[in-house]
Amino acid sequence: MSTINREEMLKILTAVTPGLSPRPIVEQSDCFCFDGGKVITFHEPTACWTKCPLDLTGAVPAKPLLDILRARPEETLDIAAEDGKLVLRGKGKRRTRVLMEAKVTLPYGDIPKPSGWVRLPPDFLDAVDMVHRCCGKDEDKLDVYVHIHPERVEAIGESRVGHFRCKLPIQTDAIIHKESIKHVVALGMTHVCVSDKWLQFKNAAGVVLSCQQGAGKEDYPDTAKALKISGQRIELPRGLDGAVERAAVFSRENADDDEVLVKLKRNEVGIVGTGVSGDHQEPKKVGYDGPPLKFFISPKLLSDLCKKHTEAWVTADTLKVKSGKFTFITGLTTVEDREAGKQEESGEEVVEEAEE
C-alpha cells in the first residue's frame, strides 16, 4: 500500500495524458500503465511517461481514475492493488475501486531509452505552437506532419504555410504528426534527443514525451517557393478585427462556407459578411496603394491575424504576414474561384459541356 498526496498524484497523471488514445483501438491505449515506479501512456505515434509514487504493476482505465481523484476531497489517499482492482481509501469508510489489469500489454517497450539529452532553444515552443496550426487534416498526406529541421520548424497545410527560423541542436530532420508534437508546448519541454525512429523530449519535472517520426520526410514539400511571395503591403489597422467579427455574425450561418468578403482599394478595405438571415458590411481606412482586389477568407483566421500583426502582404490569391522569425502564408479564395465552385455544384458546367 502507498500513501499519496491526492493533488500531486492528479498532477502526475494529468502530465502523461498526451499518450492516451481518444479512440482505444489498441488494448490499454486508454489506460495509465504502472510499471516499476513509473506511469506510462502510449498510442502511436505518441508515448508519455514519468516517475510515479505507486510501486505496483498494472493497467488502469484513465478516465475513471482521473475523475475520482478530482472528486475525492481528501488531501492524502491510501492506494493498493487488491483482487484485480486499484483501491483508494481515505477518511472514514470512503473506498473507491477501479478495475486494474495485472498484466501490462501496451507495447511501449519498443521505444528506445532516451539518452544524450540536449537543451532546446527558448523559442522552440513558440515555433511549434505557431506552426502546427498550419497543418492539414488529410491523414493520407504529409501535410498532417510538422517538419522539424536543424534550422527551422515548418508545416504545409491544404492552403497554408507556416515557417519559423529556429536553430535546433539536432543533426538530422524529422517529420512528426501535428497531434503528437503539439504537446511539447503545454508540457514546457526543455530538452530533446533523437532516437531511432523517435524524437523524444523532456521537461524540468522529468516528464518524457516520445514522438514517433513519420515516413516520407524526403518527400515533404519545399516551402522555399511560398516564402518568396512578396505582394503589396497593407496595414492592418486597429479595430479591423472588430469589423471582421461583426461580419462573421452572418457568415457563420454558412456552415460549409464560413468566409467573409474582403474588398481592397486604395486606402480602404471593406469587410462583408453574408448569411441566410442578413448581411453586414463595414469600411475601414487602411494603408494600401495597390490594385483593387476582392477575395474571401475565414473570419476567424483574419481576426486572429489582425490581433497579432500590424501589416501584411497580399496578392490576388495569397496573404502573407511576418513577425520576427515566423512567416505565415495562406491561400485566398478569389471571387472567380467562388463563382466557379457554385457553378460546378449546380451542374452548370456539365450542361455547357453537353451543349458543346
Q: What is the DSSP string of 293-356?
A: EEEEE-HHHHHHHHHH-SEEEE-SSEEEEEETTEEEEEE-EEHHHHHHHHHHHHTHHHHHHHH-
Going from the C-alpha of 66 to that of each of 19, 42, 323, 347, the distances in angstroms are 14, 17, 40, 53
Q: Quick one: what percent of the chain has pLDDT higher than 70?
A: 96
177/135 Cα distance (integer angstroms): 9
> Using the 8-state DSSP alphabet, how is residue 6 labeled?
H
138/75 Cα distance (integer angstroms): 46
For residue range 262-277, list pLDDT tens digits in order.
999 999 999 999 999 9
pLDDT score for 323: 87
Burial class (CB in 10 A: 0-12, 13-18, 19+), 235: middle
Phi, psi of 321 (to 5 degrees): -130, 150
Grid cell listed for 93: 469508510
- Residue 89's contacts (CB-CB under 8 Å, 6 or more residues apart) are 77, 78, 79, 80, 95
Q: Is 354 helix (H, G, I), strand (E, B) or coil?
A: helix
Which residues are registered as beta bridge partners of 59?
33, 101
Is residue 71 within a helix (H) or strand (E), and if so which, with residue range?
Answer: helix 62-71
Summarize the confidence of residues 5-15 as an average pLDDT.
96
- Residue 345 clears pLDDT 80, i.e. is over it: no
- Residue 354 clears pLDDT 50, i.e. is over it: no
Nearest-5° Cα angle at 59, 54 to 64: 90
User: DSSP secondary structure string, 25-62?
Assistant: -STTTTEEEEETTEEEEEETTEEEEEE-S----EEEEH
Cα 121 to chain center, whole Å?
Answer: 20
- Residue 344 clears pLDDT 90, i.e. is over it: no
- Residue 355 clears pLDDT 80, i.e. is over it: no
pLDDT score for 12: 97
- Residue 356 clears pLDDT 50, i.e. is over it: no
Band the pLDDT of 159: cuts 50, 70, 90.
confident
Please say whether the beta carbons of 71 and 90 come within 8 A. no
Grid cell listed for 186: 503545454
> Using the 8-state DSSP alphabet, how is residue 250 labeled?
H
110/168 Cα distance (integer angstroms): 26
pLDDT score for 25: 82
Find the largest Cα–Cα distance for the chain: 86
- Residue 160 clears pLDDT 70, i.e. is over it: yes
Highest mean pLDDT among 66-75, 130-139, 220-229: 66-75
> Which letter, b or e, does each residue of 238-265 get, where b requires 16 or more Cβ atoms within 10 Å of its Cβ?
eebbebbbbbbebbeeeeeebbbbbbbe
What single-letter amino acid sits at 36?
G
Ordered structural domains, the chain, with CATH: 2-110 (3.10.150.10), 119-227 (3.10.150.10), 232-346 (3.10.150.10)
Determine the angle formed by the axes of helices 299-308 and 240-251, rounding to 10 degrees.
170
Grid cell listed for 289: 496603394
Phi, psi of 150 (to 5 degrees): -55, -20
277/233 Cα distance (integer angstroms): 35
For residue range 16-63, list pLDDT tens digits in order.
999 999 887 889 999 999 998 999 999 989 999 999 999 899 999 999
99/165 Cα distance (integer angstroms): 48
- Residue 301's contacts (CB-CB under 8 Å, 6 or more residues apart) are 330
> Using the 8-state DSSP alphabet, how is residue 121 labeled?
P
